Amino acid sequence: MPRLLPWLVASALLSACSSTVNTVDVDAGRLVAGKPIGSLNCAYRLVELNDARPSGDRAGGLGANMMLLSDPKQLIRNEFTKAGMLAPEAAEGRAVTINVKQVYLSQNLTTKIPVVVYEVRVQGQEPFIVRGQPASMNWNGTENEAYGALAKAFHVANSQVVSDLNDRCGNG
């Protein structure tokens, strides 16, 4: 039996390596949580939205699902427009620049951790970081579960941006 053990371990490792990975080109439209992110209480203009993710389109994974998100900018822009963010050419409102720093989904045996990180710059103020990281139970590691987790992370981050901008309404 002792001589058989290394072969059993090697066989188990090789079979784990040969499992199929499902590459998912993320449909950004499925990342909208359905709940509004709130409304802006004063005028802001989204003058710049940059995708500055060091990992490019890779957005982590869940179970056997490797998520690829090529461009989250339209999703983000749409959500802030719904919240009352003005177009860049608007005559009123302070200029806002958002840099998307991270979008990924990680997991361990029991928890999935979606992460969305923005750096937000408001005209005349120091930049601030917003992080949506709503960890939850990892049930089955399905594609739909991965979409739901990423949608929730975007919702948390976008809601926090609106809240933080509203807190800055009186600051000049």
Residue 143 lies in a domain: yes
Q: What is the model's pLDDT at position 109?
A: 85
In a domain, 156, yes or no: yes
124-130 mean pLDDT: 96
What pLDDT shows up at residue 3? 62
> Residue 16 — very low, low, confident or very high, per pLDDT cuts 50/70/90?
low
CATH number of the domain to which 123 belongs:
3.30.160
Give the model's pLDDT for residue 6.
59
Say what angle helices 73-82 and 143-167 make with each other, to 10 degrees: 50
The domain total for the chain is 1
Is 16 within a domain?
no
How high is the pLDDT of residue 32?
Answer: 85
Query: Per-residue pLDDT averaged across 135-145, rounded?
Result: 93
Mean pLDDT of 81-103: 95
* Structural domain containing residue 61: 21-167
Please state the rounded mean pLDDT for residues 4-19: 56
pLDDT band at 29 (very low <50, low <70, confident <90, very high): confident
Average pLDDT, the chain: 90
pLDDT of residue 152: 96
Confidence check: pLDDT of 162 > 60: yes
| Arithmetic mean of pLDDT, 97-106 | 97
Do residues 51 and 70 lie in contact, with contact meaning Cβ atoms separated by under 8 Å? no
Where does the pLDDT of residue 33 fall: very low under 50, low under 70, confident under 90, or very high at 90 and above? Answer: confident
